Amino acid sequence: AQSVTQPDIHITVSEGASLELRCNYSYGATPYLFWYVQSPGQGLQLLLKYFSGDTLVQGIKGFEAEFKRSQSSFNLRKPSVHWSDAAEYFCAVGALDFGNEKLTFGTGTRLTIIP
Amino acid sequence: DSGVTQTPKHLITATGQRVTLRCSPRSGDLSVYWYQQSLDQGLQFLIQYYNGEERAKGNILERFSAQQFPDLHSELNLSSLELGDSALYFCASSPSSKSGELFFGEGSRLTVL
């Protein structure tokens, strides 16, 4: 069975500082990996995704993530955070059988930005 | 705006009651997914429909049921409600292609008193 672990429940960083959110996955085959962001009172929005190829993927809002198969990790990074990045971030792993794009989500990391 | 519409946004009801949550997917999306988000369980996959047929089932209770109609909108029915059913219920849709991207609605917040 597929699973995702986000070890950090809550992270606080200063505006302008760099950010790294951790994600570890368990999946029997080549994983498809995703990062979603949920702003307060909103649904989830896709930040980026990894299917294959280059292990460093770029997403929206200046985020990037690196797939490391040897470590079963897919950490999310941003070089300089903005106050508007405060939100909850979810890592997800999935199978993409046609018509069956079920995703398994981690428990999320809440990001707080301080001035 | 993701293009996925969920109604109602908020719902307060009593234990033992039954409610129906409605979801309209993005135009052209054939797959609809239901997820439950609660503080203690996180984001849990409930069920998926593809073009009117059930395709995958997750941690959905027997008291819950869903369906997708010919116009592709979906409804999630929750019955014999318990306090623990209080949660945010999300609907998501996806294109038929292997984009891997789910488009989420803003959710329906259910409070059971």
Question: What span, in angstroms and rounded, lies between the C-alpha atoms of B108 and B90?
Answer: 7
pLDDT at residue number B91: 96
Spatial contact of B55 and A99, defined as CB atoms under 8 Å apart: yes
My answer on whether omega of the bond before B8 falls inside 30° of 0, hence cis, is: yes
What value does the mean pLDDT take over residues A48-73?
A: 93
Residue A44 touches partner B, C-beta closer than 8 Å:
yes
Interface of A with B in 74-103 (CB under 8 A): 90, 94, 96, 98-103
Q: Given an 8 Å threshold on Cβ–Cβ distance, is B96 in contact with A104?
A: no
User: What are B10-65's pLDDT values in tens digits?
Assistant: 999 999 999 999 999 999 899 999 999 988 778 899 999 989 999 888 889 999 99
